[in-house]
Structure 1
Amino acid sequence: MPRLIMFLAIPAVLFLLPWWTLIAAPTDGAGPLFQLGSVVFLLGYLCLPASMFLGHGPRQSDAASIVGDTLLGVMWVVFSWSLIGTVAGLGLALAGVDNRAAIVAASVLAISAALVAWGIFEARRVPRVRTVDVAIRGLGPGLDGLRVVVITDTHFAALDRLRWSERVVDVVNAQHPDIACHAGDLADGSVAKRHPQVDPLGKIEAPLGRYYITGNHEYFGDAQGWIDHMTSIGWQPLRNQHETVSRGGDQLVIAGIDDPTGVGLPGHGPDLKTALAGADPHTPVVLLAHQPKQIADTAAAGIALQISGHTHGGQIWPFHYLVRLDQPVVAGLSRHTDNTQLYTSRGTGFWGPQLRVFAPSEITVLILHPERAES
């Protein structure tokens, strides 16, 4: 019962404030525009939980999930700007401005429409390449300039993004990666339904290895199926294990751990000690861990660099403020001890709503260099 209440209450909040801002306040709660707008908002409110249940519940209807996810994203944008508009309206009232409700409604509607259109474009475009130089303590000179290309949170789902997947592969290969990584949340749905969108990843070329870890969304579905499928297309899943790569006579450990949600599946769940068992303690380690908050254990182990995703950079502003309550970092390179850094990708795809607002997607090129001693 509490879950049902939350399932209905959250959409109610998302619709109630925009209804007041766009419909009730500017019409003074009367007239045909008020009546028509109220009916539209009521239908939207009923549609959101219904389509989300049909799309993400037992039926797994792709059509319903597209409707529900899109409506959720649009209403988050409208809700956010309705809240801002309400604050602005108070300022207009203090300034004695007439027709402030109409001014606020028109502004919120115009800004929301523009951001939704832009957000859809940003979400569906091929991500920009973000290049970051990372100094690694103890990295040998033979590995100076090593190119680690990271994709993550592709979330292949109901929208068929096969062509997008192929273009992402082209961009990744154009970066000439030495190592390619997928940091989890590969797809939403079964292997049978989603593998055509995933299969192009098998064409990524990286001479020192292609490595994949599970994210939380794999554990919402068929995690082992996706692990097996990625193996079948030439990727090396790192399930609490590591590989050692060599170039120019120097070595680097590439390790990976399961997502914390894996503890619900027998034999799964993060185990950093097992992942590093047998690794040369004098060789720097790059760890793939889906969630940034796993950095606490990473830093305690003295690992040089953790690569994560999960946050999507917030995906739709201002959601990143809520993400920050759960994760220590939302995006970018951060240092957590003298020895440990974390790179958090904003993600390559998107989850649910096909919108990205002030949180652009990325294909990341991490260029590793030996850390220079300070003079």
Structure 2
Amino acid sequence: MKAASIIIGLISIILVDFIVFKSIDGKKKYKLYRIQLSLVVHALLFTLSRYFWRRLSPLAHSKSVAGLLWRIFLLTFFVMSQMGPIFSFYNTKDPMSVACFAWICCASELLLFFVVGLLDLLCFFSKYTKVSKSFSRTDGCMWTCVIVTILYTSFGYFNAMSPPTVVRQTIPIAKLPKSMDGMTIALLSDIHLGSTVGFTMMETAVKITKALNPDIVVLAGDLTDGSVEELKEAALPLKDISAPYGSYFVTGNHEYYTSDVENWMELLESFGFHVLHNSNLRIHSKSNKNDWFCIFGTDDKQAELIGYEGHTVNLTKAFSGCDEHHAAILVTHQPNIAKRALNMNIPLQLILSGHTHAGQIFPFSIPVYLGNPFYSGLYHYDSKRYVYVSQGTYFYGWPLRTGSYNEITKITLKSL
């Protein structure tokens, strides 16, 4: 029954998104959507908690002190797991420790489900794997699953809390003027200011970016998971970013989840960023004003999906003002839009994206890989067109990363 209720809840999200939400203003609908999604997530977590309580609570003798402490630990763990998504509604300048702990518990429970499920699957196919069908029900097996999950979660946490790694790429750009050969771009994406990323981590990312001395800074969406009122202070280090040829921003899907995208665009403009709102700018060489290339950007696909007033993906409008005789670089948050631009044969040379986080946590990375035409890193699409997808400067929600890492990319443009 509980599994059925979760399935019904997921179907209701889809139906509401495509039927009911069509009649609701884009600025309001995601407040309702987040509440609905939260209820479905809590139904899932509650079901998992009951399942694991039955399997884990007998691991220590119920009448012993150790058994009592074990049950108190489990109860605390399951309650905190339920609290993780709730903290997405409460954002502060720097994350609260209790919020980070709750998100870790939430991720750990999902990872434990994967570990136990994998073992159960091996036991189900026991005649092929030589694993006893009864093995997964033994105390030793369950303790092993718990320990593996704790170690995996710990590794993911320390990896996620490490400063962003600088990834260096050199990309040949056709039609780039010789006078602009060697120009550098610092690419940031998916910072996700919110309940687990705040001022201190933002300050670290800005210091790393400034130390790279880039000619251009690009912020490719998903800066925030909250409103300007909540997170303006956390974003303040961005004021210190400056680049000789400018700093540029495009929206990501999470900007629209906040229902505060216009205020974020206004704030970033006050910080000195050029917001590429289906628009472009020509970047002229300082040594020869007749030499230039075009940087253009779009709103995120999410605006298109929800009908957010005044926002959509308009590649034709974004490119208008650029031309086929000069190099052009597109900044768009989602790789799906990068693929759309390539299919439209817009005369561009490079696309900068983010969004995927390189899956952030294995095994949840599998559907991310399958659901995006470009997953992570540099893609040489054809003879003269490239796509680069950042893993993200930080992470969303769960302060864990496995199979991926925090990234700031320094791209050097080479003239052909």
Paired with 1:56 and 1:38, the residues of 2 have a C-alpha distance of 27
| Alpha-carbon shift at residue 191 of structure 1 (Å) | 0.7
Tell me which residue corresponds to 1:252. Answer: 293
Number of the residue aligned with 1:290: 333
Corresponding residue of 2:309: 266
Which residue does the alignment assign to 2:410?
A: 365
Superposition deviation, residue 161 in structure 1: 2.7
- CA–CA distance in structure 2, aligned partners of residues 16 and 315 of structure 1: 27
Residues 74, 47 of structure 1: alpha-carbon distance in 2 compared, 3 angstrom cutoff? same
Residues 17-46 of structure 1, C-alpha deviation per residue, up to 9 Å, x if partnerless?
75576556x78xx96688986786577556
State the match for 1:73 in structure 2: 107
1:1-375 aligned at under 5 Å gives the runs 2=9, 3=12, 6-12=40-46, 14-15=48-49, 22=56, 45=78, 48-49=81-82, 52=85, 54-56=86-88, 66=100, 68-87=102-121, 94=130, 101-159=138-196, 161-221=198-258, 222-247=260-285, 248-249=287-288, 250-263=291-304, 264-299=307-342, 300=344, 301-371=346-416
* Maintained 8 Å contact 2:166/2:407: yes
Superposed displacement of residue 81, structure 1: 2.3
CA shift for structure 1 position 119: 1.6
Q: CA deviation at 1:177?
A: 0.3
Contact (CA 8 Å) 1:17, 1:79: kept in 2 or not?
no
Partner SS for 1:324:
helix
Q: CA deviation at 1:6?
A: 3.9
Alpha-carbon distance change, 197 to 50 in structure 1, aligned in 2, over 3 angstroms: closer
Alpha-carbon distance between aligned partners in 1 of 2:140 and 2:183, rounded to the nearest angstrom = 54
Task: Determine the C-alpha separation between the residues in 1 that align with 2:369 and 2:134.
Answer: 39
Q: C-alpha offsets along residues 285-305 of structure 1, whole Å, 9 cap, x if unaligned?
A: 111100011122221223211
Give the superposition deviation at 1:113: 1.4
The offset of 1:165, in angstroms, is: 1.6
**SS of the residue aligned with 2:393?**
coil
Q: How far apart, in 1, do the equivalents of 2:363 and 2:219 lie?
A: 26
State which drifts further: 334-343 or 232-241: 334-343
Q: State the AA in 1 paired with 2:247.
A: R
Checking the alignment, whether the CA contact within 8 Å between 1:21 and 1:86 is kept in structure 2 is: no
Cα deviations by residue, 1:103-127 (Å, 9 ceiling, x for unpaired) = 4333322222122222222222210
Contact 2:81-2:109 at 8 Å conserved across structures: no
Could you tell me how far 1:262 is from its partner in structure 2?
A: 1.6
SS at match of 1:186: coil
**More deviation in 37-46 or 296-305?**
37-46
Q: Distance in 2 between matches of 1:20 and 1:305?
A: 53
Contact 1:15 1:79 in 2 (8 A): no
Task: Give the Cα–Cα distance (whole angstroms) in 2 for the partners of residues 16 and 287 of structure 1.
Answer: 48
Q: Aligned partners of 1:82 and 1:18: how far apart in 2?
A: 10
Provide the C-alpha distance between the structure 2 equivalents of 1:98 and 1:229, rounded to a whole number of angstroms.
59
Kept in 2, the 8 Å contact 1:320–1:330? The answer is no
The question of whether the paired residues in 1 share the 8 Å contact of 2:220 and 2:250 is answered with: yes
1:83 Cα deviation (Å)?
Answer: 2.9
Measure the CA separation in 1 of the matches of 2:348 and 2:195: 37
Q: Distance in 2 between matches of 1:154 and 1:83?
A: 32
212 and 365 in structure 1: CA distance in 2 versus 1, 3 angstrom threshold? same
Q: Tell me, which stretches of 5 or more residues in structure 2 are unaligned?
A: 1-7, 13-35
- After the TM superposition, which of the residue ranges 321-330 and 90-99 deviates more from structure 2? 90-99
Number of aligned residues: 366
**Secondary structure of the equivalent of 2:405?**
coil
CA RMSD of aligned residues (A): 3.1
Residue 4 of structure 2 is matched in structure 1 by none
Whether contact under 8 Å (1:183, 1:212) holds in the other structure is yes
Distance 1:243 1:109, change over 3 A: same
* C-alpha contact (below 8 Å) 1:305/1:342 kept by paired residues: yes
**Quick check: 293-302 or 125-134, which moved more?**
293-302
| Distance of 1:95 and 1:239 partners within structure 2 | 57
Distance 2:52 2:388 in 1: 37
Deviations 1:223-264 (A, max 9, x none): 001000000111111100011112244322111100011233
Q: What is the CA–CA distance in structure 2 between the aligned matches of 1:218 and 1:253, rounded to whole Å?
A: 25
